[in-house]
Amino acid sequence: MMDVFTVTIERADARQRLDRFLAGVGTWGTRSQVHRLIADGGVWIDGVPAKPSSVLRCGQCVEVRPARRHPSCADVMPEAIPLDVLHEDDWLLIINKPPGLVVHPAPGHWQGTLVSALLHRWQSRPADLDPLRPGIVHRLDKDTSGVLVIAKDAATLAALGAQFRAREVSKEYLALVWGTLRERQGEIRRPIGRHPVQRKRMSVRAGGRAAITRYEVVADTNGMSVVRVWPQTGRTHQIRVHLAALGHPVVGDALYGGGGARAAALAMSRQALHAARIEFVHPHTGKSIGVSAGLPDDLLGLLDRMGLARLALASLTSPRPSSSVSPQQQRASRPRASEHDTRLGTARSSHRASPKLRSLKEERT
């Protein structure tokens, strides 16, 4: 652990943004690394957790308390962790991430992560990928299951990253939430920022980053609803925060009000949230590709007990309502020279992994 750094802001440094000031000092790396340090609760101004956009005033006391040690290559070792592969070619690996698998190593989770699995799988891969984030362009929370796309080289990683930043990637989730939503479909536009006190949580708050989530109710029963969700932005915990803000937290989500005795009675110890489908343009072929992931056993079993499994599974192969598609995604999905259909290969690999109610249906995008 590094020592606490304390500085009193002088007149010459006043009126700067906090992140620019700390990046200029040079001790804590680039501006993006400073952002991460601040987001982790490692920077305080006058005894209050700071935000990257905080504007410094003369006389303020800035404390940097880097309580977390960032992982190094020595912390992360290859491990033979099996992966449920939905699609693979020379440039991409697309998996169905199981619940409970951590994507990136962090304190308390140095081993048993997706990164360790990839290091084992790709021991002979080119050395142009960060060994701590080998090809990972987006992430899923530890207890969220579903589709995750991984690049096999730096050029593919950069191209995919550009599509995510331009909001040209379509992502669909399936969630089981508490309560009956008043509107059968709708759009949530509420800014999201880090919770001012509970730093592991995000919250809807003024001054947060713009966040848009579209949804459609599939079915409801016994005080619960199955909801299809299309996040239009990629904020941390976005779906969980937005649904909780509507008063309908995800079942099993203890962090945002969906856990407790009710979830325990259903034997659901994690958030009932699944990344069901992703669509994007293949960076090398220029063809549209869509891949779906079957539901994990715990969520499928719960839906079956609630009498919702049939409708939930049917929704995974239903067309998206036009309201769920952003203008950027519409442009990105316009037909190219030809289309890429992973229907046969994906269905076969999923059938081998778990034949029980996990058939995948891939349609042309």
Query: Under DSSP, is residue 91 helix (H, G, I), strand (E, B) or coil?
Result: coil
Q: Which among 65, 28, 24 is positioned nearest to 43, based on CA atoms?
A: 65
Give kind and range of the element (H or E) at residue 275.
strand 273-281
Q: How far apart are CA 254 and CA 344, in angstroms?
A: 38
| Residues belonging to the active site | 141
Angle between helices 18-25 and 31-39 (to 10 degrees): 120
Residue 311 CA to chain centroid, in angstroms?
Answer: 25
Q: Which among 130, 163, 150, 141 is positioned nearest to 84, based on CA atoms?
A: 150
Query: Under DSSP, is residue 172 helix (H, G, I), strand (E, B) or coil?
Result: strand
Q: How far apart are CA 209 and CA 202, in angstroms?
A: 11
Q: How far apart are CA 97 and CA 108, in angstroms?
A: 20
Q: How far apart are CA 279 and CA 170, in angstroms?
A: 5
* Residues comprising the chain, all counted: 365
Which two tokens mark 44? 């305080």
CA distances from 346 to 79, 118, 155, 219 (A): 25, 20, 24, 27
Q: How far apart are CA 236 and CA 225, in angstroms?
A: 23
